[in-house]
Amino acid sequence: EPEVTQTPSHQVTQMGQEVILRCVPISNHLYFYWYRQILGQKVEFLVSFYNNEISEKSEIFDDQFSVERPDGSNFTLKIRSTKLEDSAMYFCASRVVGATNEKLFFGSGTQLSVL
């Protein structure tokens, strides 16, 4: 089965530093997403991306966050100045089209630890 790839698997950073989380969605997919999950809490939607622009974002996705698709394969999430509360598992996901009930493919996640 095709896979969404995320790197790094674990990122440790100091508070206030910038981090970039990387994702390679499945090649023929058109919709991309970032979710996060704080330890012991539920999965939370951050942002969706289609046709080279953000299609929807949550309240969590403030000015500290940005997403980019710098080339035909990578999809990145940047956190400009990390805070302690940004520590979480960040999941990238993708799917082919925007159909109802369509399967979402998740990457294995990046565990971000902000110290």
Partner 1 sequence: RKEVEQDPGPFNVPEGATVAFNCTYSNSASQSFFWYRQDCRKEPKLLMSVYSSGNEDGRFTAQLNRASQYISLLIRDSKLSDSATYLCVVDNAGNNRKLIWGLGTSLAVNP
Q: Which residues are near partner 1 by CB under 8 A?
A: 31, 41-45, 48, 55-56, 58, 89, 91, 95, 98-104, 106-109, 111
The answer to whether the beta carbons of residues 34 and 77 sit under 8 Å apart is yes
Closest approach of partner 1 to the CB of residue 32, in Å: 12
- The Cα–Cα gap between 4 and 21 comes to 13
Closest approach of partner 1 to the CB of residue 16, in Å: 26
The smaller minimum CB distance to partner 1, of residues 9 and 17, is found at 9
- The Cα–Cα gap between 71 and 93 comes to 17
